[in-house]
């Protein structure tokens, strides 16, 4: 039977297990939208293509499946770019399908023509241009395979309009077709000799630390990571995106490392004699000054991506492979250990940190962001999916909403994309509809993509929004305070009345200015179905501590002020 390229697209997407897509229609993608009505796929209409890309990303991160975004040619496609770059930096598997002008018009500057494969080349794992209907099935299958395998990442399919409407004889084969990808290989096992060398280094270590990154989540290695850490009694520090790799309540968890990591975590890394980097890439935000980074430590780097080996930090041993497989191969080769002196040393540091912790402060009648997020954590029993924007609130969420399980913290790490939170939360809700989903956002980040509140309303997305509203672009303000003599250039930001904004949608909302009302507001949001907006008007000029200034050593942190009595920051 003859069917169109657009129909083949939907058949191919359904074969990949797609049941929800996020997008925005337009001229060059209309044939795809037209036949969509005939297929069991739910379409979420974003208010901007960037939102659609972040939704697909949030969906992917919460479900560990591939998220799909759809857009038209030209501006539709270019609006996806920030979302694609965000997914690339955080290795998030999304497939973006863009309409394109008919292939005979390519290169002619036709209406809404943009060189999409050219523009997205450096920010995708791979991209495709489809000019004929008979390419569709293979390309979709390749795109999904590439997006989710190896080191995952975004893939763009640019789909010419003539190929969408071209009719060909086609019968979909439910079994995967044989893919011709001669240059695409995903390493699995590390060489045995390297495993033995690693085991020898691990056996000798007295002060080891595991650095777990997002690779632990992406390769589904969290259970074997727990086994490995427990068997060797090795404490585990996590990157922002690695949070959830080990439960935060685990006695070996050091929480988040890096610029805003807890002091004991960074101290442990600096004092370590062996660093086991598992699926992380030594980003500048986690190493501090590279010259003084973990000076005594031998370093073993396990990663699936060969370009990460030695890219930022010289390592003693590299194990290239899939983290889960490598750890499973490594487990039988290593003996148990208790590392008693090392763990008690870390416990001492932990005690000293908890004295400085803001959540142990007494109520001073003021609303502190950290306390709001801590209350949210307590009331939701730490079990919600939490999406964030980028900035102070993001770091506070990482610090004060410790996660127990993987795929629960949805946040833009590498790219640091403000405005990521709201659409990502909507995407996460579509992936996990029975989960409680919270957005912890800043007033600045929220305003970047607040149009998606309308999407949440239209979809009835059960996303609870907690705006940490300090009237500042707080992270930049904090840097201005510390490093630019408090010259607050363009960081004071006035928002709309967020309660009225919600009200304009018919979305229930509350403004909270009094610490006494935090819990009841959170309970109100939890008990109200559909989206709810809570506007927490917090102290304006609070900073995120601890903080490693750029260029400083990882253990040269600006610490939280040490005090038991509350006072004005």
Partner 1 sequence: MQQILFALVENQPGVLNRVASLFSRRKFNIESLNVGRTERSDISRMTIVCDNKTADASTVEANLYKLVNVIDVQDLTNQPSVVRDLALIKVKASQEQRSEIANLAAIFRAKIVDVAPESVVVEITGTEDKIESLIELLRPIGIEELVRTGQVAMMRGSSDGLRHIPGANGKQLDLSEK
**Closer residue to partner 1 (CB): 150 or 474:** 150
For residue 161, which phi and psi values (nearest 5 degrees)?
Answer: -65, -35
Which of these segments, 177-185, 370-378, 422-430, 449-457, binds partner 1 (CB under 8 A)?
177-185
For the sheet with 509-512, list strands across it: 409-410, 385-388, 437-442, 463-469, 532-537, 509-512
Which of these segments, 186-194, 416-424, 467-475, 553-561, binds partner 1 (CB under 8 A)?
186-194
Which of these segments, 181-189, 240-248, 434-442, 468-476, binds partner 1 (CB under 8 A)?
181-189
Q: State the first-to-last Cα distance of the chain, in angstroms, to the nearest integer.
A: 72
Strands (E), 385-482: 385-388, 409-410, 437-442, 463-469
**Closer residue to partner 1 (CB): 244 or 414:** 414
Cα-based torsion angle of the residue sequence 8, 14, 20, 23 in order, rounded to the nearest 10 degrees = -20
Pairwise CA distance, residues 70 & 25, whole Å:
8
Task: Identify the residue among 5, 187, 242, 515 touching partner 1 (CB under 8 A).
Answer: 187
Pairwise CA distance, residues 283 & 256, whole Å:
13
87 binds partner 1 (CB under 8 A): no
Active-site position among 7, 11, 36, 49: 49
Site for partner 1 in 112-151 (CB under 8 A): 117-118, 121-122, 125-126, 129, 146, 149-150
Smallest separation (angstroms) from partner 1 to the CB of 184:
5
Decide if 157 contacts 84 (C-beta within 8 A): no
Contacts with partner 1 by CB under 8 A: the residue count is 28
DSSP 8-state code for residue 80:
T
The 10 Å Cβ neighbour count of residue 112 is 16
Which of these segments, 182-190, 274-282, 500-508, 558-566, binds partner 1 (CB under 8 A)?
182-190
188 binds partner 1 (CB under 8 A): yes
Smallest separation (angstroms) from partner 1 to the CB of 504:
44
Q: Is 49 a catalytic residue?
A: yes
181 binds partner 1 (CB under 8 A): yes
Q: Is 475 a catalytic residue?
A: yes
Angle at 81 between CA 79 and CA 86, to 5 degrees: 125
Site for partner 1 in 271-330 (CB under 8 A): 305-307, 309-311, 320
Q: In the chain, how long is the greatest CA-to-CA distance?
A: 77
Site for partner 1 in 194-223 (CB under 8 A): 194
The 10 Å Cβ neighbour count of residue 545 is 21
Encoded tokens for 324: 């889960």
Any idea which residues carry the catalytic annotation? 49, 111-112, 161, 475
Residues that bind partner 1 (CB under 8 A): 117-118, 121-122, 125-126, 129, 146, 149-150, 181-189, 191, 194, 305-307, 309-311, 320
């Amino acid at each position: 039977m003859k069917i169109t390229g657009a129909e083949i697209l939907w058949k191919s997407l359904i074969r990949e297990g797609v049941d929800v897509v996020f997008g925005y229609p337009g001229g060059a993608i209309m044939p795809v939208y037209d036949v969509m009505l005939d297929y069991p796929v739910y379409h979420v209409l974003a208010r901007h293509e960037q939102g659609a890309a972040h939704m697909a990303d949030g969906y992917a991160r919460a479900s560990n499946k591939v998220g799909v975004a759809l857009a038209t040619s030209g501006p539709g496609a270019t609006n996806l770019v920030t979302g694609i770059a965000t997914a690339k930096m955080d290795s998030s598997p999304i497939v973006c399908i863009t309409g394109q002008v008919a292939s005979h018009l390519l290169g002619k500057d036709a209406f809404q023509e943009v060189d999409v494969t050219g523009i997205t080349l450096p920010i995708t794992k791979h991209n495709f241009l489809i000019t004929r209907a008979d390419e569709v099935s293979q390309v979709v299958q390749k795109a999904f395979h590439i997006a989710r395998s190896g080191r995952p990442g975004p893939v763009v399919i640019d789909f010419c309009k003539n190929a969408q409407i071209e009719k060909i004889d086609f019968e979909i084969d439910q079994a995967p077709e044989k893919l011709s990808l001669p240059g695409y290989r995903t390493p699995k096992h590390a060489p045995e000799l390297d495993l033995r060398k690693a085991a020898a280094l691990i056996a000798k270590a007295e002060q080891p630390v595991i650095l777990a990154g997002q690779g632990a989540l992406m390769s589904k290695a969290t259970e074997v990571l727990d086994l490995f850490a427990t068997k060797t009694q090795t404490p585990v520090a996590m990157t922002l995106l690695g949070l959830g790799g080990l439960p935060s309540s685990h006695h070996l968890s050091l929480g988040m490392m890096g610029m805003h990591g807890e002091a004991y975590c960074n101290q442990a890394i600096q004092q370590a004699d062996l660093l086991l980097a598992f699926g992380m890439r030594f980003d500048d935000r986690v190493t501090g000054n590279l010259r003084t980074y973990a000076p005594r430590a031998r370093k073993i780097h396990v990663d699936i991506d060969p370009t990460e080996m030695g890219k930022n930090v010289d390592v003693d041993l590299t194990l290239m492979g899939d983290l889960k497989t490598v750890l499973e191969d490594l487990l039988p080769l290593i003996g148990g250990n208790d590392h008693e002196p090392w763990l008690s040393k870390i416990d001492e540091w932990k005690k000293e940190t908890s004295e400085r912790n803001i959540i142990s402060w007494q109520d001073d009648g003021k609303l502190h962001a950290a306390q709001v997020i801590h209350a949210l954590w307590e009331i939701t029993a730490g079990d919600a999916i939490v999406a964030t924007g980028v900035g102070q609130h993001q770091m506070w969420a990482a610090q004060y909403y410790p996660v127990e399980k993987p795929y629960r913290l949805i946040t833009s790490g590498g790219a640091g994309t403000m405005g990521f939170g709201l659409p990502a939360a909507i995407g996460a809700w579509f992936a996990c509809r029975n989960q409680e989903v919270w957005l912890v956002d800043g007033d600045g980040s929220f305003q970047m993509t607040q149009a998606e509140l309308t999407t949440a309303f239209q979809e009835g997305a059960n996303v609870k929004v907690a705006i940490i509203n300090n009237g500042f672009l707080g992270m930049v303000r904090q840097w201005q305070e510390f490093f630019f003599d408090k010259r607050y250039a363009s960081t004071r930001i006035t928002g709309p009345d967020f309660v009225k904004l919600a009200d304009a949608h018919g979305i229930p909302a509350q403004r909270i200015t009094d610490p006494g009302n935090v819990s009841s507001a959170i309970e109100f949001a939890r008990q109200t179905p559909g989206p709810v907006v809570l506007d927490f008007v917090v102290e304006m000029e609070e900073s995120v501590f601890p903080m490693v200034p750029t260029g400083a050593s990882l253990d040269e942190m600006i610490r939280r002020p040490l005090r038991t009595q509350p006072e004005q920051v």
